[in-house]
Structure 1
Amino acid sequence: MEFPVHDTLSDESLKKGLDAVVRDGITSQIKMTLTESIFLIAFAVALGASNAVIGLIAAIPPLAQLLQIPSIVLIERTKIRRRICVLFSAVSRLSIMAMVLIPFVTPGIPGILLLLFGVTSHAVFNAVTAAAWNSWMKDLIPQEILGRFFSKRLAVQALVGILTTLGGGILIDQWLRNEPASLAPYSIVFFVGMVAGIIGVYFIYTIPEPRMIIESLNQKFLDTLRRPFQNEDFRKLMMFSAAWSFAVTLAGPFFTVYLLEVLGYDLSIVTGLAVLSQVTSMLFYQWWGRLSDRFSNKSVLRVTTPIYVVGMLLWTFTTVPGIHMLTLPLLILIHVMLGQSAAAVNLAHGNLALKLAPRGESTSYLAGWSVVNSIAAVMAPLAGGIIADSLSDSYLSFRLAWQGLGFSFDFGLIDIRGLDFVFLISFFVGLYAIHRLAIVREAGEADQRTVLDAMLAQAGRGLRTLSTVDGLRHSIVIPLAHALRSSRSQARSTETSESEKEDTSSS
């Protein structure tokens, strides 16, 4: 098997390569949907895993990402990133077989141990792949189309994830209706995910690789590791990334547990909410991609991270103090908010790291960024599991009560217990992450108001197409069009003043 590298890529070769990146994204999404996220957590719950074990399962993949540090040496010595991606991703995806065999070999506590082994093996080899992949994509994809390309790839992946989640959810739900204690449907789902992942290895092999540029070949390994932390702009990004990763992974792994265990919903409802979130993400990916290319990645993040943080806080209101008539509508609202904001964060956050990583040093910079994210993502779910188990019998309640004048009422405003504490802490850490984002610098960033105006203008154009109520349509579209014209005129006046300053200085 040969792995040639190219000094230059023709337009045709680049197009075929980008198409292969999208195809790999499709197969990888099937693999991730079926072997990670809700199906993996539901399987662990079915095996009898505690919140602490759930946190450990969520912590293993980011912990394995620390292997990106020694991977830098391997990548910079071999300089053939495609070979590393093909070999290590193949082993990573074949290791899913350990999870496939659990229902037939050893359920119960030994099954949980085998599950941890399978998750660990998959994550370890995938971490080496990720280090090579990030550097490879940095050199392959032209920066001027970065946002649009990845928004397209993510939108396609979101659609595939929706269909895969529905298919897997229906299979497991229907099977469990006839055999409630069976683990076999999870084995089938994991096997299909493994096969899809192996097919993706072929698509990775067909992607062309530009010749790797290394500007610091003679530097020592420790100096290579220090470079991202010595760059002030990139260091600020890593501070934000660490805080944001901690906030998201503190609560995220327990959403499925909360729906299954606390609210008592069937897997069909859980997968339905997941699909709703994925549909929302899919609808917004290309929208956010255009905005990030037009303004900047940071500008998009400043608008969308607060939406995600508020969505995490709303989880605490789904039981006040128990399940109520607004629980399901509130969950629908939460998944819409998290879906549309996650689309922007996933796209803009990664693109911001790619943009700030200097060419020729992207391997060490992106590996350092991933390691910082990984450390936070290891600590967060472990802490979340411990907090949830430790505070399972504790609660904090605020009530509004009245008695007098012939009537009385007693209404629970806030009732926090168990996993609610995890969601609340995640909210406050998310607020701190937004504070860290404010000091990150990116060339070409626009102010928050300008991005909001553009968002509303695009929403207005959508309403003009979708709304059947003419009065409602015009009442929204006309003010939004005015806002967009105002922002454009402001931008033109800014450009004019800047050009006048340049003329004055040159004269």
Structure 2
Amino acid sequence: MALQPQHSVSEPERDYALRQLVTESAFASTTTALTSGVILTAFALHLGASNLVIGVLASAPFLGQLLQAPTILLVERLRQRKLISVASSLIGRGMLALMALSAFLPRDLAIGALILGQLVLCGMAAVGSCAWSAWMRDLAPEDRLGWVFARRTSFAAAISLVAGIAAAVVLDRTPEGSWWRSVTFGALYGLGFVSGLVSAWLTARIPEPAMPPQPDVQLGLMALLREPLTDRNFRQLTIFLAAWQFAINLATPFFTVFIVQQLGFDMTFVMVLSVVSQLSNLIALRNWGALADRFANKSVLLVAAPTYIACIVAMIGASQIAHGPWLVAYLVVLHLIMGGAVAGATLATTSIALKLSPKGSSTAYVATAGLATAVAAGIAPILGGAFADFFRLRQFELLLRWTSPQGVAIVSPLRLSQWDFYFLIAGVLGLYAIHRLALVQETGEIRRREMVQQVLLHTRRSVRNISTVAGLRGLTDLPAGFLRDASLRARFLRRQRFADRD
């Protein structure tokens, strides 16, 4: 297994690499599903962490992105992106063993180990991601970027769905605050550690095209970062990505805390909502990928981003509904819409940064965008956790007063408290981010109204497909179908090349 770059990558090797990307995503997503998101927040709450600690844990993936700055120089000088990606993956995922051990440590020591492990894990993930993104930019054909990442993300979402359900079932069988729940969290992080090692091994088997010859003049870090910022269009994209990440990460990391503490649901219900969102994400991804390739990533963002922001603001409605079946239904529907919207937003933001960066020297471009979003997204949840107590002691209430001969009636149709304020603020900031997106130019983009029509058309087709027995069976076979499609496509391309030679 060589970690050195190749001077050229043949088409069969490229097809193999694209299939390997899908397989690797299964293990990477298993690691993520078992050790982040709802699981991480539940683990922190189990250990007795404060809102500020939860905010720090949520900000770690973004603060870790700051390491992309020195990684740019490392990639440009070492010019071995696979080596950097695999080594950083092994170091970072090694921290999952420490986080598994923290389940059995005293409270303060456990929380410290959890924070340390999360910071190192996310920092190394950022280093690997910087090298990996530039590597994939040169490996995947430009006209298949959306196709590749949609299938990779879809397969990852399917595996995350299964892992999320399994985690919910296991956690549901352990009493809150018990020793067995500590064992459960330790086991989840242990499995994540093993799965992460397999992911790193599979990544090492993917070929890496050699970077262009190193220039005689060595550029410093500031010179490398200056080049993307002098590109007006990419600068507009960077501003949008930073504003977007700040808006959504001010509130979304605290969804679990909001649902558990303010609405009064248990962690099992939170896991169910997470599974619902992932299922919606899985169904929507294929359509978003096709639309991104056909009509540009910006067109996808102009529909998916406002929808996701609207869902964040709509979380306020959950605190206005009495605890019962209607509230459960409201949250389920909201997470269905949110899962579909975040699928398009995540896919498009990843692809558009790659697409608007020049081929062969995309490292600095991708890293510059990553640094800007890291600062914005890293600050947002820390501010959220720091000001949690401030908003907890404050409440806004709208009162309607009705006077009649029978007396005076006072009705309160709107009551905002604690996390509701974050959802409202995130909505306002989200509108600004969407305004910045309008200034970005991308080839092939269409108007928002036309894109909405295309989304509705694809959605109706998807609903018709899954409304039949064959469609439901196809949904369950989705990951295997992707692999079969990729395999058939590779065979067809090989036969076509052999025919051309003859």
Which TM-score applies when normalising by structure 2?
0.89
TM-fit CA distance, 1:16: 1.1
Query: Equivalents in 1 of 2:307, 2:170: separation in Å?
Result: 33
2-structure distance, mates of 1:405, 1:273:
47
RMSD in angstroms over aligned alpha carbons? 1.9
Deviations 1:378-436 (A, max 9, x none): 11001111222211111001133424254765433221111111111111111111111
2:409 is the alignment partner of 1:389: no
Task: State whether residues 22 and 152 of structure 2, in contact with CA within 8 Å, keep that contact through their aligned partners in structure 1.
Answer: yes
CA contact (8 A) 2:46 2:176 kept: no
Tell me if structure 2 keeps the 8 A contact 1:131–1:363: yes
Q: 1:169 to 1:227 in 2, by over 3 A?
A: same
Q: Distance in 2 between matches of 1:414 and 1:294?
A: 43
Superposed displacement of residue 232, structure 1: 0.3
For the 8 Å contact 1:321–1:415, the answer to whether it is kept is no
- Match in the other structure for 2:116: 117
| Distance in 2 (alpha carbons) for counterparts of 1:375 and 1:59 | 9
CA drift at 1:124: 2.0
The match for 2:341 is 341
- Which residue of the partner structure matches residue 142 of structure 1? 141
Q: What corresponds to 1:438 in structure 2?
A: 438
Aligned partners of 1:52 and 1:389 also within 8 Å? no
Residues of 1 paired with 2:179 and 2:285: CA distance?
A: 38
CA displacement at 1:344 relative to structure 2: 0.2
Which amino acid is 2:152 matched to?
R
In structure 2, the partner of 1:501 is none
Unaligned runs of 5+ in 1: 469-507
Letter of the structure 1 residue corresponding to residue 112 of structure 2: L
The verdict on how the C-alpha distance between 1:294 and 1:171 changes in structure 2, with shifts beyond 3 A counting, is same
Q: Which amino acid aligns with 1:383?
A: L
What are the superposed Cα offsets for residues 445-468 of structure 1, whole Å, 9 maximum, x if unpaired? Answer: 111122122222223434555669
Instruction: Label 1:464 to 1:82 Cα distance change in 2 as closer, same or farther (>3 A).
Output: closer
| Structural mapping, 1:44-443, within 5 Å | 44-104=44-104, 106-176=105-175, 179=178, 182-213=181-212, 218-221=217-220, 222-320=222-320, 323=323, 326-404=326-404, 406=406, 409-443=409-443
Q: Deviations over 1:449-501 (max 9, x none)?
A: 22122222223434555669xxxxxxxxxxxxxxxxxxxxxxxxxxxxxxxxx
Secondary structure of the structure 1 residue equivalent to 2:173:
helix
Moved more, 377-386 or 408-417: 408-417
Distance 1:150 1:323, change over 3 A: same
> Which amino acid in 1 is paired with 2:110?
G
Distance in 2 (alpha carbons) for counterparts of 1:103 and 1:303: 42
Pick closer, same or farther for the CA change 1:103–1:445 going to 2, 3 Å.
same
Q: Counterpart of 2:175 in 1: which secondary structure?
A: helix
What residue is the counterpart of 1:474 in the other structure?
none
Taking only the aligned residue pairs, the percentage that are identical comes to 34
- 2:294 touches 2:444 (CA, 8 Å); kept in 1? no
**Superposition pairs for residues 455-470 of structure 1, below 5 Å?**
455-462=455-462, 465=465
> Does structure 1 conserve the Cα–Cα contact (< 8 Å) formed by 2:245 and 2:377?
yes
Offset, 1:219: 4.5
- C-alpha contact (below 8 Å) 1:250/1:381 kept by paired residues: yes
**Range that drifts further, 410-419 or 348-357:** 410-419
Pick which of 354-363 and 400-409 moved more: 400-409
- Give the Cα separation in 1 of the matches to 2:352 and 2:3: 29
Aligned AA (2:281): S
Following superposition, the deviation at residue 4 of structure 1 comes to 3.2
Q: Could you say which residue in structure 1 is the equivalent of 2:481?
A: none
1:301–1:344 CA contact under 8 A, matched in 2: yes
Secondary structure in 2 matching 1:176: coil
Instruction: Supply the distance in 2 between the matched residues of 1:465 and 1:121 (Cα, whole angstroms).
Output: 44
Amino acid at match of 2:453: D
Q: C-alpha distance in 2, partners of 1:271/1:15?
A: 36
Tell me, yes or no, if the aligned pair for 2:318 and 2:331 is still in contact at 8 Å.
Answer: yes
Distance in 2 between residues matched to 1:358 and 1:41, nearest whole Å: 38
Query: Conserved in 2, the CA contact under 8 Å of 1:214 and 1:361?
Result: no
Q: 1:299 to 1:131 in 2, by over 3 A?
A: same
Aligned residues: 467
| Compared CA separation, residues 216 and 243, structure 1 to 2 (3 A) | farther
CA gap 1:12/1:415 in 2 versus in 1, 3 angstroms? same
Measured in 1, the distance between the counterparts of 2:225 and 2:163 equals 39
